[in-house]
Structure 1
Amino acid sequence: MSRVLIVDDEESMRLLVARALAMDGHNVTTASDGAEALEILGGTDGPFDLMLTDIQMPVMDGIALALSAARDFPEVTILLMTGYAEQRERASGLNAIAHDVISKPFSVADIRTAVADALASGKKAQ
């Protein structure tokens, strides 16, 4: 299946999403902030198919991460998530680099569907 990087500063959210995506057979890696995510993306383990990142995080937020990732790793499909309306509005200008913005809270079924849609769209674009 696909390689997915989950980036969220909340450990419980990382674990929930990682378990949900592992149910679909994805190879999941997690990071607790944007700086750690960029290190992982630039690692030697090969490319990721999807990066799912929270928008509001310390160190480097998800929007700064998405901009850096889109520039340095253009093959990665980006999916954003947030629980804040103002963060969703900030992300609205990122349509060119982010597949979608998922609103928290979401169900396991919702995140699995959103990831499947993002991965399908990323494969078409390549």
Structure 2
Amino acid sequence: MHILCVDDDPLVRNVTCDMLRDLGHKVSETSNGNQGLSRLRQTGDAIDVLITDIRMPGLDGLRFAQIARGDRPNLPIIFFSAYAPVESPDEFYSIRLQKPCSLGALDAAITKMASRLTPG
């Protein structure tokens, strides 16, 4: 799958992207919501899953996801945060992972999102 990872912390973003690549995914990455939105719009439907931090300066992850969903209503989103739980805008097409997470937890979240992409 092609996954877009958006996180303002370079260390967290690098580790997350490395984990995603270890799981066999193609990864694009950006450091903020505005760059993420631009990347999504450039790649069209090529992005299968979005992983975004929630708290970022400027365009935060929740607002970024809301705008992205305006373009792609069924885009699976994994909210990745070290902070207290927040409501997901759409429970069917989004889930929340606590930072830091294990490789297994990340893989399970992506598998869960991928299962929602397939009909049936």
Q: TM-score, normalised by structure 1?
A: 0.85
Residue of structure 1 in register with 2:105 after alignment = 110
Question: What's the C-alpha RMSD, in Å, of the aligned pairs?
Answer: 1.9
**2-side partners of 1:103 and 1:113: how far apart?**
13
Distance 1:41 1:93, change over 3 A: closer
CA distance in structure 1 between the aligned counterparts of 2:77 and 2:6, rounded to whole angstroms: 11
Q: Which segments of 5 or more consecutive residues in structure 1 lack a partner in the other structure?
A: none
**What is the CA–CA distance in structure 2 between the aligned matches of 1:124 and 1:33, rounded to whole Å?**
32
Runs of 4 or more consecutive aligned structure 1 residues displaced over 4 Å after TM superposition: none
92-101 or 36-45, which deviates more: 92-101
- Structure 2 distance, partners of 1:73, 1:45, is 9
Alpha-carbon distance in 2 for matches of 1:97, 1:69: 16
Task: Please list every run of 5 or more consecutive structure 2 residues that lacks an aligned counterpart in the other structure.
Answer: none
Aligned to 1:94: 89
Matched residue pairs, number?
120
The 5 Å alignment of 1:15-54 reads 15-44=14-43, 46-54=45-53
Alignment identity in percent? 28
Is the alpha carbon distance of 1:37 and 1:107 closer, same or farther for their aligned partners in structure 2, counting shifts above 3 Å? same
* SS of residue paired to 1:94: coil
Contact 1:78 1:97 survives alignment (8 Å) = no
Q: Deviations over 1:28-78 (max 9, x none)?
A: 000100000000001147521000001000111000011001111224211
1:120 lines up with 2:119 in the alignment: no
In 2, Cα distance between equivalents of 1:58 and 1:100: 21
Measured in 1, the distance between the counterparts of 2:43 and 2:100 equals: 33
TM-score where L is the length of structure 2: 0.89
Q: Distance in 2 between matches of 1:93 and 1:119?
A: 17
Distance 1:93 1:45, change over 3 A: closer
**2:64 aligned partner:** 65
Matches within 5 A, 1:71-86: 71-85=70-84
Q: How far apart are residue 124 of structure 1 and its match?
A: 3.7
